[in-house]
Structure 1
């Protein structure tokens, strides 16, 4: 059996390794348009900020490793056309210019995503850079040292992490976002208000509710003015990170997709076309909070989905458990975790929810030190099923986001979480764990509402 894998970052690398591990001797051919595999783009800000000195540490595999496992690895080869009916792919060698056709028995689409590039006037300025892959990271590193004024467009994880890295490097940083809050996909205002205030204390200028209208480069070409609906901001370097779109043009009209082009897969990573599998940022995930589909491009989703492709390439064996979109962030001393929906996003997923927010110490006050934990629990009205959670502290409580993720995946209720058996030891915890207390507050809220 011959398997062709198109694209080889997180999902592709995971798929190739698992296919070959589960099926020794299977013929696996990889086509990747870049000259590297498995780059952790979540580490770009660490690289930019100098925390990571050697960028090679941001790779966890390489073409040589995949080849040693038995894969036929073709780097800098661009797949230009896919015919799922004929089971053929057209390929161009980007080094030699050679073009050829290949055939497959099974096809794995792990083509990933690409930064959204709005059709804004002046966006072609050499001072406007994207932030997604290794080559883009190298471009930012190569030019950042002699730049003082930097504008970051987009207040998601990558944008915020870059803002922190540049500000801590002594740059004059302006963050521009078209929405009213940073990190709005992950956190509610109780959390983002704190983080925005903290960024301002670190010298960051935050311009929210402002849409970018254009970029204007000066005559010397060394500065670009970002023109928004709220003002103009001069910069020597502009980083554009306003989100990602799935790279699925090759199979448009051939497999079922969401409106944004994300490929829909079943619980075994199969698309609507027989023998065609997909995984990673090119796909919609099965979203557990509402039991539907959502586009959530995260490396954690990608590696799990890639593994499942490998497990199921010869027939359905291991079922996808879905995802809660669990994520973590470290920002200027704050340890932040979130999972599932928040108050702001719940309605978009068709959920009627209520929530509780509370702050408490993570361990007893009689200990020499402790830290406050700000936390929030979101649950479904009627069922009291947990569908989201957020947590933040100067103490590292981020693993609690994983606990809440498991609660969502297993359809636990607020009562279940209120009585979960968590250990007590004064160095680490209180007799009632803070997650127990959070869920108990939700129970109290429901009891009060029932009286009305």
Structure 2
């Protein structure tokens, strides 16, 4: 049995390892466009200010390990141009300029996603960076010299906010330009105000409701042009989002979502026999909305990759879905969400209620108690949990994981009161903040 995997990162190599474990003497070929395998993309921002000492620390397994220890034909510099689904062939071009063809019995598309560049004018200027791969980050580090004073970040999502913190820690002036009225679109607007306040406190300039129009400069970027004004800059980091790498699937019959993500079933199969997809290039079933979604996160890529590998190996392991849990750090704040927010509930027409609470993350009388801010969304008719957003300086990670588990098990707001959660004054109040919210608002 010949297995071919397009993509050498989280989803692709998770699948490869499951096939290797479950299919004796399997012929596994992985095709990676770049030259680095299996690295932690989420750690890239923290190399900038030295919290992570080197990009090498982000690499889980190098190419030689996959080849020598696991017997996987792990190829680098192989860019796939297309798939012949009738002949079951993958073809493309090597970095050397030589064409290649690889036959498959089962194929996994795990090509990930690439940063979106929302404008064309001036993007060829030096000093404009995206942060998705190790080589891209190393290009940024080489460019982030002592002569760079003002850095402009385009986009206020996870990467944009994380990069704002780490660039600021390098002693640079940071400006963040966001096209909407608030950053962190996973949150509803009232909770994002805490992030805006933290940005102001730390000296990060926020430019909101500004649409990017162009970059200007002589050979190197010098100005960012928006509909809210022109801003001088020495360097730009683009972080407005990503798009699935699926252009090479044109004409194959592999069905795609509107955004280009591969549509997959619960076994990660596509609309074409013997072709699977997983990770940032694929859709993700959302357990709360009960429909296909696109929420590209490293955790999901690894899970989908593992299950795709098992299914390709004949084990028939379904992907149950996601609840959309995410968390990130911005200076002294932790920002987390799971499920759906109020905007999403309105968009899909759910009759909901929203409850808010501010509470201490541990016993209020214990030294170091910090205030966290929570918003919980429930279905109005039966109080079934739909989503939570939590912002604060401590204790956020604990609560969001409890809530994500509750979502996965379709619990109601009153059900939270029955949870036997850990309590001691240094770790919690006698009633956890989630349970405090349920006591105030839940209906028995």
TM-score, normalising length: structure 1: 0.94
Structure 2 Cα separation of the partners of residues 258 and 247 of structure 1: 12
1:339-390: CA deviations, max 9, x gaps? 1111122233443322111011122233233111211211122232211111
Task: Output the CA distance in 1 between the equivalents of 2:415 and 2:349.
Answer: 23
1:243 aligned residue? 241
Change (3 A) 1:340 1:430: same
The aligned residue for residue 177 of structure 1 is: 178
Quick check: 1:424–1:431 contact (8 Å CA) kept in 2? yes
The offset of 1:154, in angstroms, is 0.4
Partner of 1:153 in structure 2?
154
Equivalent residue of 2:396, what SS?
Answer: coil
Superposed CA deviations along residues 414-440 of structure 1, whole A, max 9, x for unmatched, are: 121132221322221222111111222
Check whether the contact 1:16–1:66 (CA below 8 A) recurs between aligned residues.
Answer: no
Partner of 2:37: helix, strand, or coil?
Answer: coil
Q: For residues 7-156 of structure 1, what are the structure 2 equivalents within 5 Å?
A: 7-67=7-67, 68-95=69-96, 97-146=97-146, 147-156=148-157
CA contact 2:119–2:214 (8 Å) conserved in 1: no
Confirm or deny that 1:194 pairs with 2:188: no
Structure 2, unaligned runs of 5 or more: none
- 2:360 is the counterpart of 1:364: no
Task: State the partner residue of 2:214.
Answer: 214
2:365 and 2:298 mapped to 1: Cα distance? 41
Of 208, 226, 232 in structure 2, the residue corresponding to residue 234 of structure 1 is 232
Alignment of 1:252 with 2:253, yes or no, is no
- In the alignment, structure 1 residue 168 sits paired with structure 2 residue 169: yes
| Match of residue 450 from structure 1 | none
Q: How far has the Cα of 1:181 moved from its partner?
A: 0.5
Deviation at 1:46, TM superposition (A): 0.4
Partner of 1:353: 352
CA offset at residue 189 of structure 1? 2.2
Q: How far apart, CA to CA, are the structure 1 residues paired with 2:361 and 2:197? A: 23
Please state whether the residue corresponding to 2:138 is helix, strand or coil: helix
Distance of 2:179 and 2:325 partners within structure 1: 24
User: Which shifted more, 53-62 or 422-431?
Assistant: 422-431
Distance 1:178 1:103 in 2: 45
Structure 1 Cα separation of the partners of residues 108 and 244 of structure 2: 15
Return the alpha-carbon distance in structure 1 between the equivalents of residues 393 and 355 of structure 2: 21
Distance 2:213 2:220 in 1: 20
Contact 1:90 1:101 in 2 (8 A): yes
- Once the 2 structures are TM-superposed, how far is the Cα of residue 129 of structure 1 from its aligned partner? 1.2
Structure 1 window deviating more from structure 2 (275-284 vs 57-66): it is 57-66
Aligned equivalent of 2:317? 318
Aligned residues: 441
Structure 2 residue aligned with 1:422: 421
Task: Check conservation: 1:180, 1:208, Cα contact below 8 A.
Answer: yes
Distance in 2 between residues matched to 1:201 and 1:363, nearest whole Å = 25
Deviates more, 1:135-144 or 1:375-384: 375-384
Aligned equivalents of 2:321, 2:163: Cα separation in 1: 30
Q: Provide the C-alpha distance between the structure 2 equivalents of 1:158 and 1:28, rounded to a whole number of angstroms.
A: 33
Give 1:288's aligned residue.
Answer: 287
**DSSP 3-state at the match of 1:306:** helix
SS of the residue aligned with 1:227?
Answer: strand
How far off its partner does 1:222 sit?
Answer: 4.3
Deviations 1:124-145 (A, max 9, x none): 1112111111111001111112
Measure, in 2, the Cα distance between the counterparts of 1:42 and 1:316. 30
CA distance in 2, matches of 1:368, 1:132: 40
CA–CA distance in structure 1, aligned partners of residues 334 and 237 of structure 2: 24
Conservation of the 8 A alpha-carbon contact between 1:364 and 1:426: yes
Instruction: Give the equivalent residue in structure 1 for 2:204.
Output: 204
Q: TM-score under structure 2 normalisation?
A: 0.96
Deviation at 1:292, TM superposition (A): 0.3
Return the alpha-carbon distance in structure 1 between the equivalents of residues 223 and 344 of structure 2. 33
